[in-house]
Amino acid sequence: MTTPRIGLLGTGPWARSVHAPALAAHPGVEFAGIWGRRPEAAAALAQVHGTRPYETPDELFEACDAVAIALPPSVQAPLAVRAAEAGCHLLLDKPVATSVSEARAVAAAADRAGIASVVFFTARFGEQEGEWIAAQAAVGGWFTAHADWLGSVFADDSSSPYADSPWRREKGGLWDVGPHVLSVLLPVLGDAEAVAATRGPADAVLLTMRHGSGAASSATVGLTAPAAAAGVEVTLRGTAGVTSLPRRQDGPGVAYRHAVDALLAAAGTGLPNACDIHFGLRVTEILAAAEESLPSPMPHGS
């Protein structure tokens, strides 16, 4: 068997810090090349990791068995459709899109092409978090849950490399870290059968959900928390007692390697991964419903 060839679309901070290094280091794939919206950035990143830049996405697709995408969701979705149509398996970032129609288009293209897909939810593929999620899903009997998933990307004293991200500025924490919350809660508590949301300070949003298991959950998400208040906590309460999501002991590169492994397994066996494009579509549907339920922002001065 030949080594699967995987290419990367994107050259931003997430591509540079996680995708490219992990693909270059993964023993099971050939890092086949990079395309970016800025050709000079693609050339520089390719040189660092011993691969080559491509002038167009379609040229990269032709040279690859799979592609990883590290681009804003509105750019990712149409490129994912094109990649699927070219027969490439998909390693997508979350959210797969910020509109339900775009996410459905990716899922439909993947189904038509018969390709494998994995959405990189870092908590699901992290070793400690992934094991905890699977264990709590097996235990069952959860009554309620609460999550705080708060970043300080847009705090006044932020030095985050994502502070200049236009799509995060526009869509806020609901769409950037909301997918992480859902990736943890849905496999444990079941699908969200009802969702509502209300606004907090800045981009903070409070989500409330009723799940298929009968459990209720809430979550506070945002990207503008003061640095001293930022962090991640998820707590479950039920017949087994109280348990909390373990704090990550390793960086996202380890989780990314597991996501690549999951894509290779899905492509090799034909069995879908739990975090495939259809799960990514469901996350988009839930977030879109939450966004629709939000009250309009109060006008300034009122």
Work out the end-to-end distance of the chain between its first and last CA atoms, rounded to an integer number of angstroms: 66
> Which residues make Cβ contacts (< 8 Å) with residue 42, sequence separation at least 6?
11, 34, 35, 36, 53, 54
Tell me the mean pLDDT in the region 61-70: 98
Tell me the mean pLDDT in the region 271-294: 98
pLDDT at 150: 97
Tokens 């094109």 belong to residue: 82
- The model's pLDDT over 241-282, given as tens digits with 9 standing for 90+, comes to 999 999 887 789 999 999 999 999 999 999 999 999 999 999
Tell me the mean pLDDT in the region 60-71: 98
Bridge partners, 237 (sequence order): 144, 242
- The reported pTM is 0.95
- The model's pLDDT over 105-116, given as tens digits with 9 standing for 90+, comes to 999 999 999 999
| Cβ–Cβ < 8 Å for 109, 84 | yes
Distances (CA, A) of 286 to 5, 83, 209, 292: 33, 25, 10, 10
pLDDT at 158: 85
Percent of the chain with pLDDT over 70: 98
Closest by alpha carbon to 273, among 168, 139, 124? 124
Report the mean per-residue pLDDT for the chain.
95
16-21, long-range: CB < 8 A, 24+ apart: 16/45, 17/161, 18/70, 18/252, 18/253, 18/256, 19/68, 19/70, 19/256, 20/45, 20/48, 20/49, 21/49, 21/253
Give the Cα separation of 104 and 80 in Å (integer): 11
- The model's pLDDT over 117-136, given as tens digits with 9 standing for 90+, comes to 999 999 999 999 999 999 99
What is the H or E stretch that residue 205 is in? strand 205-211
Tell me the mean pLDDT in the region 202-222: 97
Buried b (16+ CB within 10 A) or exposed e, 65-76: bbbbbbbbbeeb
- The model's pLDDT over 51-64, given as tens digits with 9 standing for 90+, comes to 999 999 999 999 99
For the record, the structure tokens of 10 come out as: 């994107």
Task: With cut-offs at 50, 70 and 90, classify the pLDDT of residue 296.
Answer: confident
pLDDT at 297: 66
pLDDT at 120: 98
Tell me the mean pLDDT in the region 220-247: 96
Give the Cα separation of 287 and 196 in Å (integer): 10
pLDDT at 295: 84
